[in-house]
Amino acid sequence: LFRILSKNNGVLNILDTLDNDRFVYVRSMIIEGILSTDMTKHFKLCSELKTAEFKIADKSARKLLVSLIVHLCDLSNLLYEYDHYYKWCLRITQEFDDQYKAEEKLDATKYGEPTVFLKYTNIEGFYKSQIGFLNIIIIPMMTSFHEVLKFDKVVIDNMNKNKETLESKL
């Protein structure tokens, strides 16, 4: 990523104008943002969101905000209008199912059992897993995020409509 951003072609080279201190800071923000997509950090991030005071002068608050925004973007397919969400979700589900099948081929005594939540079994299971993901992960996060940032309610409306649509398919 940093090699791409550092290419000297005038278009992508956003890092060239930074002095060393700013480069180190921007690099750490980018890395922190990418690491925030790890779902093992989800509940910690949501907890920090509820208690954080976002002051622009506070570097740790800025870093948290970047982490939260990147994490939210990583999970954002559930916030699109249903048709768009559904297309993305099928792609992600296929990727997860491929991962499960690849893990199945590995030696379980050496690598452990495949991650079960990645396994796609049927369309009803798909709908139920999406509803569960919305209830446990997305809705609480988006509710907190909306309370803090007061963004356009269309995102919340899409999320709720998607849940209703999924529930109607069961």
Per-residue pLDDT tens over the stretch 36-82: 999 899 999 888 888 877 777 788 888 888 898 899 899 889 899 99
3-class DSSP state of 36: coil
Q: Which residues contact 121 (CB under 8 A, 6 or more apart)?
A: none
Work out the end-to-end distance of the chain between its first and last CA atoms, rounded to an integer number of angstroms: 42
| pLDDT > 90? residue 145 | no
Q: What is the DSSP letter of 116?
A: G
pTM: 0.80
> pLDDT at position 11, please?
65
> pLDDT at position 135, please?
96
| Mean pLDDT, residues 122-136 | 91
> pLDDT at position 50, please?
82
> pLDDT at position 12, please?
64
> pLDDT at position 156, please?
92
| Mean pLDDT, residues 89-99 | 88
| Mean pLDDT, residues 135-141 | 93
Per-residue pLDDT tens over the stretch 3-31: 777 666 666 677 778 899 998 988 899 99
C-alpha distance from residue 94 to each of 56, 90, 100, 128 (Å):
40, 6, 10, 16
Asked if 33 contacts 23 with a C-beta cutoff of 8 angstroms, the reply is no
**pLDDT range class, residue 158, cuts 50, 70, 90:** very high
- Going by C-alpha positions, the residue among 166, 162, 18, 15 that lies closest to residue 81 is 162
> Higher model confidence: residue 150 or residue 21?
21
Tokens describing residue 118: 């990645």
Task: Tell me which H or E stretch contains 127.
Answer: helix 123-133
Helix axes 139-149, 59-74, angle to 10 degrees: 140
Q: What is the mean pLDDT of the chain?
A: 86
> pLDDT at position 62, please?
85
